[in-house]
Amino acid sequence: MLQAERAQGALLPEYHRPTPECPNPRLWSMYDSMTAEAEVLEFLLCLVTTLKPALIVETGSFLGISTLWMAQGLKRNGFGRIISCEYDPIVFAKAQEKIAASGLQEWIELRNESSLEMAVEGRIDLLFSDSDMPIRRQEVTRFLPQINPHGVILMHDASSHLKTVREAALAMEQDGLLSVVLLPTPRGLVLAQKREGRA
């Protein structure tokens, strides 16, 4: 949070180390090391305007920056909502402040709870999994029955260097639960779809 406050919204070069799939991470930018890469934020917005999701679920709001980018997409679409959870109460309060000041609050339901306990009603069209890396398989598995088979699942921090999330996504593919594409961004982004129910 300190790093984000010091940067005051200025773009910095991406900090993540080179990987075989992304040898030049400095070509990307970031606001801070927790918030998704700036280009990934743009991709999230674009995905929302492309897919027109009625319900987005995000795990790991941090300061609400990715939440706000997706909410911008919902505003452009003119419908939909995003439910985002952050379990740390101090971080949650900061995100709440930012969202309240953004003019995008009507599109967002921010919850101070864990992704492993959060109950969501309805069919999820877009899931952005961006919480604690070791629990990503657990949280995607929890929401899987509710995910629209024509919808999209994103799992952030899936680079070959960070490993845990990449391995979780590949294991879920191996188990026949997901089809995954590993996007070669600095921190890695899994773009997936659930297998069950896909026409």
Ligand X SMILES: C[S@@+](CC[C@H](N)C(=O)[O-])C[C@H]1O[C@@H](n2cnc3c(N)ncnc32)[C@H](O)[C@@H]1O
Which one, 90 or 199, has the nearer CB to ligand X?
Answer: 90
Which residues here bind ligand X, judged by CB under 6 A? 34-36, 59-60, 62, 65-66, 85-88, 91, 114-116, 130-132, 135
**Whose Cβ is closer to ligand X: residue 55's or residue 85's?**
85
Q: Cβ-closest residue to ligand X?
A: 60
Contacts 24+ apart (CB under 8 A), 95-99: 95/61, 95/62, 95/63, 95/64, 95/67, 96/64, 98/63, 98/64, 98/65, 98/68, 99/64, 99/67, 99/68
How far apart are CB 137 and ligand X at their closest, in Å?
12
| Residue closer to ligand X (CB basis): 42 or 196 | 42
Instruction: Quote the strand ranges of the chain, DSSP E.
Output: 12-13, 29-30, 55-59, 81-85, 108-111, 124-129, 147-156, 178-183, 189-194
> Which of 100, 149 has the CB closer to ligand X?
100
Q: What is the distance between the alpha carbons of residues 156 and 168, in angstroms, rounded to a whole number?
A: 12
Q: How far is the CB of 165 from ligand X (least distance, A)?
A: 11
CA–CA dist 113, 116 (Å, integer): 8
Nearest distance from residue 44's CB to ligand X, in Å? 8
- Helix, strand, or coil here: 77? helix
Comparison of 97 and 196: residue with beta carbon closer to ligand X: 97
Shortest Å, Cβ 19 to ligand X: 18
Q: CB of residue 197 vs ligand X: minimum separation in angstroms? A: 26
49: which 2 tokens? 């305007």
